[in-house]
A and B are shown apart, each in its own frame.
Chain A
Amino acid sequence: MSREENTNFLPRALFVGILQISLVMILFCRMYYLQIFEGSHYHLLAEGNRIFSRPLVPLRGQIYDRNGCVLVENETSFRLLLLVDRKKDIESTLTALEEVISLSAEEKEEILKKVGKKHSIDAIVLKDGLTWEEVSAIELHAADLPGISLEVGARRHYPLLSEGAHVLGYVASPSEKEEEEEPILAIPGLKTGKVGLEKYFDQRLRGTPGYRTFEVNARRKIVRDLSQNESIPGEDIHLTLDGRLQKYASEVLSEYESASAVVLDIQSGEILALVSTPSFDPNLFPLGISHHEWGKLRDNPYVPMTNKVISGLYPPGSTIKMFVALAALEAGIIDKTTTVHCPGYFYVGDHPFHCWKKHGHGFINVSNAISESCDVFFYEIAKRAGIDRLSATFKAVGLGEGGGLEGFPHCKKGLIPTKEWKKDKKNANWTLSDTIMTSIGQGYMQASPLELVVVIARLVGGKKVIPHLEGGENPSFENLEFNPEHLKLIKEAMANTTNSPSGTAFFGRIQQEGKEMGGKTGTSQVRRITLEQRRAGQTKTNHLAWKYREHGIFVGYAPIHNPRYAIAVVVEHGGGPRGAIQAARDILLKAQLLEEENKE
């Protein structure tokens, strides 16, 4: 093959070069046209328009009770938004706004703080929950308020008011710390659960924010929507609570200065009511509580903000006796026929421990010792069993575990004292006196009402129930590893407490046939009765100042033949268990009546 040179290359390459130069010239011309010839026109357009991209607050899930009644709902509310562009015109906008609606100094300060935090253009919420008057006033003056826009949103509303406040919790604007941890919370207008179920289920209730992109003109009025990505509403939550029982229990407890009660389904572990008094109105929080209101709640001596069912720790008093008996029975130290003589006192060395009944119960067996709450019987069997056996049994039923409501905010764990614990914390050896005190639930021992109701439900039902607040499929629970005969014996003794004339709570029994309750009273001393006081014949604390009176406790179940409900009631400084017994009776009866009502 002979080869001839490609003589066409040079001329054609030159042609391509000329073509390229012409095309580049076109680019220059176009650039000149856009930037110089039409430059001022485009400059105007560029100054005029801005694009805002703003997250949309998702609708928070609603909360329903076991009967489908709404406990937490969303109400339509109007929010006032400010599109912040450059910081300097904020002040003038606020001044103009003040002529239309009233802004407190507190609110203004809050707004300026929020503006200061924004680096670039963004929207901030000026005011939430506007009244109709304010909405119409703003609409009327819209032209004088650059950057201001109204948005329809949802406001959290709690129809139970103070009666569900502790268990349901409330929402409020996220704190700075929360915003740092989860930047998504910084979305203007988003609220987050602060306590209670609102916090417990916050992730599920919250939903997924959407995005709205829109173009605004130089006066920051929205000219057109560019895109809208709808937010996804949060999940609705159906609870095990019964709104009516919750309300009723709140009313019952409102007779006392400070009290708490919790009702549990023995079989399923469903919490039907969870009440702590005094309470607060959760509706104060979503729109921001004023300093004044907050101060009132904070300084109240009856601590309305505390959920005493889960955060209140009390010496369980005589309500622990069933478990002391259980420990002795299981260890084979006593059986149902074993009797102990109670002369009204019990000596450890030369130190006397008294029974509540001054002249004693005489010879008494375990069943009567529970129903009549004989202290000496338990001193004696506790001495025989030893603290190790007692604390092992307490642990086995689930005391000291916080009640099993995993992750619920502010759940506190009670205390089971052991030799190791005392050595560790008090740097002292365990003494027999400590065992004696523990056997009647005084001294170091502590439990929350939730823990108490759970262990009662376990004792009565024989299963290791775990409490829960969300409805749906109920899990099955393991059997407790105790002799069922022993559990039955104790359960019957508890029935006698309220139904035998010699029982300590006979006066407070449920008299409707088939609805009878069983239970156990308890009194936990806040201040020891001094020897002088005792000599002066004083064994009660009712006359003392409120905060030194004994706590009254009652744990119980109903109905006795086919136990369904377990309850724990604590009346703080009730001066004895009387109030707690009455409250428990009323609530347990109501629970059974409501059940009948539902069946019809």
Chain B
Amino acid sequence: MKKMMDPRIFHKLFQLNWGIISLIFLISAIGWGLLISAGGGNAHIWAFKQMMRFGVGLGIMLVIALTDLRWWLRFSYIFYGLSFLLLCAVEVMGFIGMGAQRWIDLYILQLQPSELMKIALIMALARYFHSQSQPIPLSKLTPPLLLVLIPTFLVLKQPDLGTAMVLLMSGGALFFLAGVSLWTFGAALVVAGASVPLLWTFLHDYQKQRVFMFFDPSQDAHGAGYHITQSKIALGSGGFWGKGYMQGTQAYLNFVPEKQTDFIFTLLCEEWGFLGGSVLILLYSLLIFLCSRVALTSQNDFGRYVASGITMTFFLYMFINIAMVMGLLPVVGIPLPLVSYGGTAMLTLLMGFGFILNVGLHQTHKVPRLSIGIL
């Protein structure tokens, strides 16, 4: 792996999966339009900043896409290790700073290590499973289990229930795709079910309240359940055609909290109706389909696992967020991917797509298995 970059870079650029890139661009552009509307027609409030972040993220995505996949295989544990250290650093700083602290302030951007961890975890698991021979014996499952559970626990302590859920579920999906026997899965589910009461004690009061509220939002219509009730009113009042761009009333009147971040789907549905919401979900589905195809057509296990893991993460973001604003899931802090206002989520997602494009580019490459070891 001496050469990180292939010299025939332009040839590679042509081979990129431009379908995926166009969809990313399209979805992000919808996001910018919504952010302008959320800012009351003023692009300076959120939209411009988001566009700039997209530009930076796009650059990172292309760089990642054009590097050699084997290089990433080699460094996946290092990547995981670094992310893990940052996560611990946040934990220590959060302990000092009191309260919820999820990010490290890098001055130009606030780095959220839990976001990096979403990618790093998939890379590390992909490498681990790539190096195992099939069928994987039960005894070989302890290391990857720890790879998943330790960061999940740290993130849960931050407290960031949403990210912890995404880590656990995307990790679980990789276990499943890697061919772990269904019996083992069944047993794990039983254990997980049994440990729910234990996990419950780790949750903060407000998190517990959100779960309660999810089951009965009307109980406290202007307390914790207020957000979700108002979100549903705004969304529902959009009807089929919507109220028109910048014509949404609920969001402007501040009924809907966080209208530019987690609840931006509400704004879309209020202004563009069922039609707008459906178009966005269809675009997401198409993007997920294209990404899944990359995973399926890859001829090496590492590539398959990386692509399917990241696609899974993306799907989870989308599903949890939309289900949340429609009152199908409790309110956990998960942004709408590529659309919600926010820096690190955007960068992480574009990094992730960089890996998917990379896998697509190198789908016929034979990737050697590495022996156990860090490098």
Q: Measuring CB to CB, which residues of chain A are less than 8 angstroms from any residue of chain B?
A: 1-10, 12-13, 16-17, 20-21, 23-24, 26-28, 30-32, 34-36, 38-43, 45-47, 49-51, 53, 120-121, 215, 224, 226
Contact = CB atoms under 8 A, between A and B. Distances in A.
Nearest to A48: B233
Given A27-B323, A42-B232, A215-B222, A51 B281 contact: no
Contacts of A7: 134, 179
Nearest to B135: A4
22 contacts: A3-B133, A4-B133, A4-B134, A6-B134, A6-B178, A6-B179, A10-B296, A13-B295, A13-B296, A21-B285, A30-B323, A30-B327, A32-B274, A34-B232, A34-B326, A35-B240, A35-B269, A35-B274, A41-B236, A42-B237, A43-B237, A47-B249
A282 to B, nearest CB: 39
Contact of A3 (B134, B234, B295): B134
B113 interface: no
Contacts of A51: 253-255
Given A9-B179, A16-B312, A36-B240, 17 more contacts: A4-B134, A5-B134, A6-B178, A8-B134, A9-B301, A13-B295, A21-B285, A30-B323, A34-B236, A35-B235, A35-B274, A42-B233, A42-B234, A43-B236, A43-B237, A120-B252, A215-B222
Contacts of A23: 319
A8 B179 contact: yes
A51 B238 CA distance: 18
B369 interface: yes
B319 A24 contact: yes
Nearest to B265: A31
A6 B322 contact: no
Interface residues of B, number: 49
A35 B236 contact: yes
Contact of A12 (B133, B176, B327): B176
Interface string B162-179: 000000000001001111
Interface in B175-210: 176-179
Interface in B279-298: 281, 285, 288, 292, 295-296
Contacts of B129: 6
A16 B176 contact: yes
B233 A53 contact: no
Contacts, number: 127
B315 interface: yes
B177 A12 contact: yes
A8 B305 CA distance: 12
Given A12-B177, A36-B274, A31 B254 contact: no
**Chain A to chain B: the 4 pairs with minimum beta-carbon distance, closest first:** A42-B236, A46-B237, A8-B179, A34-B236
Given A2-B133, A6-B178, A24-B281, A49 B255 contact: yes
Chain B interface mostly helix, strand, loop or mixed? helix
A34 B240 CA distance: 10
Contacts of B234: 42, 46
A13 B240 contact: no
Contacts of B278: 28, 31
Contact of B233 (A26, A36, A40, A45): A45
Contacts of B274: 31-32, 35-36
Contacts of A32: 274
A462 to B, nearest CB: 57
A423 B292 CA distance: 91
A43 B273 CA distance: 12
A21 B369 CA distance: 33
A142 B38 CA distance: 35
B175 to A, nearest CB: 10
Contacts of B252: 120
B118 interface: no
B253 A26 contact: no
Contacts of A47: 237, 249
A38 B178 CA distance: 43
B313 interface: no
Scoring A2, A46, A224 by chain B CB atoms within 10 A of each residue's CB, the highest score goes to A46
B322 A27 contact: yes
A28 B281 contact: yes
Contacts of A6: 129, 134, 178-179, 301
Nearest to B371: A1
Nearest to A15: B176
Nearest to A225: B222
B124 to A, nearest CB: 17
Contacts of A121: 253
Interface in B335-375: 369
Contacts of A46: 233-234, 236-237, 249-250
Contact of A31 (B133, B179, B269): B269
A226 to B, nearest CB: 5
B239 A39 contact: yes
A36 B369 CA distance: 53
A7 B134 CA distance: 9
B308 A13 contact: yes
A20 B320 CA distance: 12
Nearest to A119: B40
Contact of A38 (B135, B236, B273, B308): B236
